[in-house]
Amino acid sequence: MTEPCYITASCQITPGKVVKDGALLMENENIAPISYLQWLYEQKGYNYPKFYKMDGLSRLGWLAAECLLEGSFDKNRYAPEQVGLICCNRNSSLDTDTRYYDTVKTIPSPALFVYTLPNIVLGEICIRHQFRGENDFFIFERFEPVFLQAYVQQLMQENVFEACICGWLEFLGEAYQACLYLVEKPASKNSVPFTTATIQTIYENTHG
Amino acid sequence: MRPVFTIADNIISPLAFGTASNYAAICRGESGVRQHTKPGIAPFPFYAALFDELADTSHIDTIAGNFTKFERLLIASAKDALGNAGIDPADPRTLFIISSTKGNVSLLEDDKTVSPSAIGLASSAAKIAAHFQSPNQPLVISNACISGLTALLTGMRLISSGKYDHAVVSGADIISSFILSGFQSFQAISAAPCRPFDVARNGINLGEAAATIVLSSDPAQSKLRLAGGAVTNDANHISGPSRTGEELALAIRQALHRAALTTADIGFISAHGTATLYNDEMESKAFGLLGMNAIPINSLKGYYGHTLGAAGLVESAIAITTLQQQEMPGTKGYAVSGVSQPLQLSDKTVPVHAKHCLKTASGFGGCNAALVFSR
């Protein structure tokens, strides 16, 4: 029998907007898409110097995970290895690949090269929150709610992890979208059932 | 939950075409790693295992259609494995899974304005699935150096849950100036053939390979079972391995638990063994933490170099053959231990008495993977 799981929080970041649990959290339309992420970091008053070393995809994912978990996640409920991450995107690390390859003709940059893998953002989130569970990165042409729901449901069922941060983390040039949601077994006050339909709704809600 | 079997496999490497001929070559101590002078890849001579050393490329060259070298290699590998698997790739119950770190990234070197979809792993996977007339959307896993093992684990789960009956899991990476310059910038490239776990080790050799393992719920043609697997994260550093090995040890412990086995059941270990100072030391600590010091262990990087997204599949295919033949290839380049934990290493092929084996890998982003294969 399938044990129900719930989405206990969600966060969506697109240029100029943050939507948390379906409602508009922060907006700034008068800022370039790239500057928005740094603006967000400063507005939130975060103090995590490694943020400045990260590439665009990792900054995006790191911020989305912060906003996702703030006020919504009780870390003490889980052992480090009980929290997993299953994410995906379309263009892997292509944004940083291009930037890195520009340095190859002069002095290849190790600081950029390390970000030329899509799963590095998952490592950054694990380091920040000390999550040690499974982390997998898939590449799809588009957001695939059917696969993502069924696969994560199965892994929750098999107790591979007890909580999972899932979703879409795409960053290329001026265009980016982070849509993360937190899947847990117990329902909470504002949780919604973990279904294909609910994750599609969260993915489509970029405006709150 | 249904058991999942490995029913066919293929390796294409600079040494040979096919798993059996690769296994025979490495048991004889042959290596695909040699010094190359290729200004298109690096401004200096470098050691690597590159495809232009492969004597017979007819299996790859004869694939018709508009494919890149990366895609052609994946198709050639999958085609050979499917020829031995006796399953229909066009069956809706068959899924294709592709593992790669950088796929077609070399296109970026020729043309910076290349379209993202031409370079994208999802479009390569779609072309490959279409070539085999698969009606299903293929999966692509890009999890750094553990990609091949993650892809096998994903295929295993989707079969055990009943979603599919068969999975064709293929991986490949091509060495270009992008990849070589990057590892060089980390000072991770050895100036000589690599020496996994040896006291004189000083870095990796890169390698090119493609490999495929076909998984199935049908034991009729079965070689072995893929009995369990696990993935963990160090949560420590994005480009350096754990200082303690605890997280790789955790992945091994979880994989064994899921396979309902203990460390005492493992007859040999196919390690990652990249020959960097820190990776090999971390691995030795992980095996030490689990008391696995006396189990025969090898690294295949001295034969193939580090083949990135193909590595987990190449090394699993060799591990599967080792379980069948009960002869484990040695660790080429190893002479004197240079890790803090004693390990059962040898540079010679040795007999093993193994019903189960462990395959491990670790990669950038702090990820670790462990799989268990059973006879």
CB pair distance less than 8 Å for B250 and A132: yes
Q: Are B178 and B108 in contact (CB under 8 A)?
A: yes
pLDDT of residue A3: 84
Widest CA span of chain A, in angstroms?
59
Same domain as B233, residue B196: no
Same domain as B192, residue B86: yes
Instruction: Please state the rounded mean pLDDT for residues B339-357.
Output: 98
Q: Are B307 and B101 in contact (CB under 8 A)?
A: no
Give the pLDDT confidence of B217-265 residue by residue, as tens digits: 998 878 799 999 999 999 999 999 999 999 999 999 999 999 999 999 9
pLDDT of residue B239: 94
Strands across the sheet containing B46-49: B34-36, B46-49, B206-207
Question: DSSP letter at A73?
Answer: -
Q: Is A105 exposed, middle or buried (0-12, 13-18, 19+ CB in 10 A)?
A: exposed
Among the partner residues A118, A127, A139, nearest to B235 by beta-carbon distance: A127
- Residue A1's pLDDT band, with cuts at 50, 70 and 90, is low
CA B273 and chain centroid, separation: 12
Among the partner residues A108, A117, A130, nearest to B142 by beta-carbon distance: A117
Instruction: Please state the rounded mean pLDDT for residues B348-371.
Output: 98
For B332, list phi and psi in degrees, rounded to 5: -65, 135
pLDDT of residue B305: 98
Cβ contacts (< 8 Å) between B367 and chain A: which residues?
119, 122-123, 135
Of B306, B312, B321, the residue nearest B156 (C-alpha) = B312
- Buried/exposed code over A46-57 (b: 16+ C-beta within 10 A; e: otherwise): eeeeebeebbbb
Cβ contacts (< 8 Å) between B103 and chain A: which residues?
92
Q: How far is B258 from chain A (nearest CA, A)?
A: 9
Per mean pLDDT, which range of A190-199, B50-59, B82-91 is the poorest?
B50-59
Q: Bridge-partner residues for B348, per DSSP?
A: none
Same domain as B263, residue B190: no
CA B125 and chain centroid, separation: 18
Cβ contacts (< 8 Å) between A160 and chain B: which residues?
230
Q: Are A16 and A32 in contact (CB under 8 A)?
A: no
Same domain as B312, residue B206: no
Q: Which of B220, B242, B259 is the last residue of a domain?
A: B220
Same domain as B261, residue B143: no
Alpha-carbon gap, residue B6 to B77, rounded angstroms: 15
Same domain as B118, residue B34: yes
As a whole number of Å, the end-to-end CA separation of chain B is: 19
Question: DSSP letter at B3?
Answer: -
Q: Which of B220, B243, B276 is the last residue of a domain?
A: B220
DSSP for B119-169, written as a single string: H-HHHHHHHHHHHTT--SPPEEE--GGGHHHHHHHHHHHHHHTTS-SEEEE
Among the partner residues B108, B161, B177, nearest to A154 by beta-carbon distance: B161
Task: Find the residue in A nearest to B123 (Cα).
Answer: A141
Cβ contacts (< 8 Å) between B105 and chain A: which residues?
97
Same domain as B284, residue B184: no
Q: Which of B185, B204, B220 is the last residue of a domain?
A: B220
B82: which 2 tokens? 């499917």
Q: Is B69 exposed, middle or buried (0-12, 13-18, 19+ CB in 10 A)?
A: middle
Question: DSSP letter at B52?
Answer: G
Same domain as B158, residue B37: yes
Cβ contacts (< 8 Å) between B102 and chain A: which residues?
97, 116
Q: Coil, strand, or helix at residue A81?
A: helix
Cβ contacts (< 8 Å) between B184 and chain A: which residues?
108
Same domain as B119, residue B210: yes
Tokens 């296109």 sit at which residue? B107
CB pair distance less than 8 Å for A137 and B233: no
Where do runs of H (alpha helix) occur along chain B?
19-27, 58-61, 69-85, 106-110, 116-119, 121-131, 147-160, 177-185, 246-258, 277-289, 301-304, 311-325
Q: How many domains does chain B have?
A: 2
CB pair distance less than 8 Å for B143 and A147: no
Same domain as B204, residue B257: no
CB pair distance less than 8 Å for A137 and B141: yes
Q: How far is A82 from chain B (nearest CA, A)?
A: 10
pTM surpassing 0.90?
yes
Q: Are B145 and B361 in contact (CB under 8 A)?
A: yes
Q: How far is A135 from chain B (nearest CA, A)?
A: 7
pLDDT of residue B221: 78
Per mean pLDDT, which range of A56-60, A102-106, B146-150 is the poorest?
A102-106
Question: Which sign, positive or negative, has the C-alpha torsion B234, B235, B236, B241?
Answer: positive
CATH number of the structural domain spanning residue B230: 3.40.47.10
- Residue B158's pLDDT band, with cuts at 50, 70 and 90, is very high
The CATH superfamily label for domain A6-207 reads Thiolase/Chalcone synthase (3.40.47.10)
Task: Find the residue in B nearest to A148 (Cα).
Answer: B139
Give the pLDDT confidence of B4-21 residue by residue, as tens digits: 999 999 999 999 999 999
Domain with B180, as residue range(s), is 5-220
Cβ contacts (< 8 Å) between A126 and chain B: which residues?
233-235, 366
Q: Are B197 and B334 in contact (CB under 8 A)?
A: yes
Per domain, the residue ranges of chain A are 6-207
Rounded to the nearest integer, the mean pLDDT of chain B is 96
Same domain as B123, residue B9: yes
Q: Is B39 exposed, middle or buried (0-12, 13-18, 19+ CB in 10 A)?
A: exposed
CB pair distance less than 8 Å for A139 and B126: no
